[in-house]
Amino acid sequence: MAIDTATAPRDGDYLVRTDGTVHAGTHVLVDFWDASHLDDAAIVESALREAAAACKAELLHIHVHPFQENGGVSGVAVLAESHISIHTWPEIGYAAFDVFMCGRCEPENAIPVLRRRFRPGRESVEVRRRGVLG
């Protein structure tokens, strides 16, 4: 979904205008199965940084937490425009990503970065407009 530049956010306005609608943000939900590197906190952090940059988002903070019990990793990139998060279950090869952004960001640009970093065997992607006005 491309941002309509004719009605893109104005200074101080972080609403998104696409296809004739105005909404608070775009939410991309991504599920990966049969994925790689799900137990590697360094790769998770690097992927979050790269995904934020690809989306043209302003990174404010990253926190990544590896779990000893199952080797899973949870991480969040806090953005000026919202967030990107990941939760992994390496024991079943599954990862859940949540990419939510407002303003001029392009949250769908996170998907190719995540695919390249985690190499899923299969995936599911859902894109939603959140906070649709009118």
pLDDT tens, position by position, 39-51: 999 999 999 999 9
Residue 41 is part of which domain span? Answer: 26-125
55 within a domain of the structure (yes/no): yes
- Which pTM was predicted? 0.87
Could you tell me which of 81, 86, 82 has the C-alpha nearest to residue 46? 86
Structurally, the chain folds into a number of domains equal to 1
pLDDT in tens, 24-41: 999 999 999 999 999 999
Q: In Å, how far are 29, 39, 118 from 70, measured between CA atoms? A: 23, 9, 18
13 within a domain of the structure (yes/no): no
CATH assignment at residue 32: 3.60.90.10
Question: Catalytic amino acids?
Answer: 82, 87, 102
